[in-house]
Structure 1
Amino acid sequence: MASAKQNENLLLTEHFTWPPITLIDDIINTVNDSLYSCNDSLETGMLSAPPAQLGFSPRADESEDKMEERARLEIEEGAQKLETLMVDAVDRNFDRLEIWTLRNVLCLPREEGFEGWVRLGHYEGLEVPARDNNKLSPETLYALRRKLVETEKLHAALVAEKKRNEAQIARLRGLLAPPKQTPRASTGDDDKRTVVAPFAFLTHHPAAQALGVQPLPASATKAENRTPLTTHTSFTTTQLPHLRQLLASLKPHLASTALPSGRAGESEERAKERRVYIESQSRRVLERRGVDTRDGVEGCVEGGRGRRDEVRALEGIVGGLGDGGKEEEQGEGEEDKMDTD
């Protein structure tokens, strides 16, 4: 059976979503990291300084190299002793901080059995079965366990979706952010590059400011009370009935008023453009089929091109042949008639 202290730790861990002792551990680890960093910097600075500036002087029958070696050893030994003293002081004092914090800050009131009366927010509306309840069969416990697992999966999916939505919102806000100067990375000089948002003119252009459109706030907490786009959209919606009335009053005038006509040469211009377009497309088709179109596209036929005079001569020959055939038919008809007589 768990003790009262264990129940208290479990309750605080569920409330904070992290064990209380981890906060003290993080504080102590941060202080130790700072201590080690400061001690290393002190040792490096003393080793880089000339020994004479630190009060070292050569002894009798001692060369310069030996004096520097002796100074280096003394500096390393002193830095190690200083680090030991500081670590001991940190451990002693922060152990006191840990005990005092766990007894007076990260704890429950001292009344016995108080943790049994505490109910966290996510337990509201939850019916806790009695201890002597015999309805909890293994199948029921398994179903509850599966429900808990699926709920945790859903929670993880919702948290991931929230992070993706926040990232998407941040990218969309970046499209409306004003241009700013950012230093160019890994160049070694002071030149800068400009990060331009393509839609920043919608909110930061002087024309937008003249219309009263306010820029989007930098943080999401300020965006709750400032919705300029919603305000302008609502105003535009309220003006729609008046615009409909104006349109209804203009409809009778449109029925009795002729629309303005174009210029006199506009139709000829369009006809000319149409001919040029048809000729260009016809030239492309004929050139694909191997037809020579240097003299124009008129009179071109499949597989070759005939000139105008040749076409007219062929038409004359065909016409002459047609007339000759008609005369022969008339002569044969007269001979048949004479033979009959």
Structure 2
Amino acid sequence: MPSPDQVKTALLTEHFRYTPLTLLDDIINTVNELVFQAVNEIEDSLLNTDSETLGFTKTEGVSDADCDATARTEVEAGIVQLESLLNATIDKNFDKLEIYTLRNLLTVSNVKEDEGLENWVMLDHYRQLDHPEHTSVDDSALEALNTLRKRVQETEKLHRALKAEVARNEALLARVRPLGIEAQTSSRQSTGGIDQSFTSTASATAQDQASFSFLSSTPAASEMEIVAKRESQPLTQNTKFTLSQLTALRKLLDELRPHLSALPKPGTGSEGQRTRDAYIETQTRKAISRNGIQPGKNDGDAAALAAGRDVSADEVKALEMVAAALGGNSQPDRMEE
């Protein structure tokens, strides 16, 4: 709760349009500026006056310049003392003026019987001010306001999360850009179906080459004879790599043969043998299914495995369109499913 002095100061500030202390500060600053100008005028007048007129007598053996310098030093020292004396006198007397003005002039009342009078003073611009009665707010409006406030809070949370995500992405991109990864921004598109599929395949291949180009541009890649795809020789590289690994594989097999002979051999109907057979069967069926061949449930389905995987209708249509594009018959025979 504000103190009575604070209430009085606020009331006077609203009435005068400035604080009472501001008025006193302006008066003191004006007086100090006038004193400063007066002291400067006095100093200029004394320095421009002849030293003999000021009472400095010239003695034998002392030049006129030395006599003028002595007079100037004495005048400057006297001016400093005069200014200090005036400032001390002004501060002392105007402090008294400030205290007296704030207590007795720029105040509402300083009499003990008038305590609390500032609470009953009404300024002119408050006289015809109507105070509207407080209208009640229905629950629906409060609920709508709370809903909007929650939406704003959630939006701010989402905004902060998005800004954090942007910062993380920028940091990741800054780490990836030195590797030379650049995506292909455009590719040729045509209206024909076959041409469009070829174009998309070529674009995807070019994008893969650009995405992993840094793997073939390092010194280590040169030492391992890993070059770009357009200059690569897969058969030669695979053969060299396989031959380089044969020695290590022979050594590893020689180390494993003694341990293999020492392992106990599972029986034909043992649990371990059945688990191993079931695992091999499961993995084999998965590998065959990945190649598009649906293995049967019986062991007599060897013919289905030998026939290869089923060819879908879409693949047949694609082959026909390729044949037509390469200059085949205008009406190719369709293959039966």
What TM-score comes out, normalization by structure 1 length?
0.37
- Which has more radius of gyration? 2
What TM-score comes out, normalization by structure 2 length?
0.38
Specify which structure has the bigger relative contact order, considering alpha-carbon pairs within 8 angstroms and separated by 6 or more residues: 2
